[in-house]
Structure 1
Amino acid sequence: MGELAKSLSTKTIVAIGIGTAVFVILGRFVSIPTGIPNTTVETSYAFLALMAVVFGPVAGGLIGFIGHALKDAIFYGSPWWSWVVVSAFVGFLLGFAARNIKVEDGIFGAKQIISFNVSQVIVQAFGWMLIAPALDILIYGEPANKVFVQGLVAGLSNMVTVGVIGTLLLAAYARTRSKTGSLDKEETL
Structure 2
Amino acid sequence: MKNNSIKAVVATGIGAALFVIIGIFINIPIFANTSIQLQYAVQAMLAVIFGPVVGFFSGFIGHVIKDMLSGGIWWSWEIATGLLGLIIGLFAGRIAIEKTAFNSKKMILFNAVQIIANVIVWGILAPLGDIVIYNEPAQKVFTQGLLAGIVNALTIGIGGTVLLAVYAKTRTQSGSLSKD
- Taking structure 1 as the reference length, the TM-score comes to 0.91
Deviation digits for residues 10-45 of structure 1 (CA, Å, limit 9, x no counterpart)? 1111111111000111111112111x1100011010
User: Mapping of 1:50-89 within 5 angstroms?
Assistant: 50-76=45-71, 78-89=72-83
Partner of 1:182: 176
Q: How many residues align?
A: 179
Moved over 2 A (4+): none
1:12 aligns with 2:17: no
1:93 aligns with 2:83: no
Which segment is superposed worse, 13-22 or 101-110? 101-110
Percentage of pairs with the same residue: 47
CA contact (8 A) 1:12 1:59 kept: yes
SS in 1 for 2:94: coil
**Partners of 2:172 and 2:91 in 1: CA distance:** 23
Q: CA deviation at 1:8?
A: 5.7
Q: Which residue identity does 1:123 align to in structure 2?
A: A
Q: CA deviation at 1:185?
A: 2.3
Q: Please provide the CA RMSD for this pair.
A: 1.3
- 1:157–1:60: structure 2 CA closer, same or farther, 3 Å change rule? same
CA contact (8 A) 1:106 1:177 kept: no
Partner of 1:30: 26
Larger-gyration structure (1/2) = 1
Q: CA deviation at 1:97?
A: 2.1
SS in 2 for 1:148: helix
Structure 2 stretches lacking a partner, 5+ long: none
**Partners of 2:61 and 2:3 in 1: CA distance:** 19
- Taking structure 2 as the reference length, the TM-score comes to 0.96
**Partners of 1:171 and 1:114 in 2: CA distance:** 12
CA contact (8 A) 2:123 2:146 kept: yes
Q: CA deviation at 1:104?
A: 1.1
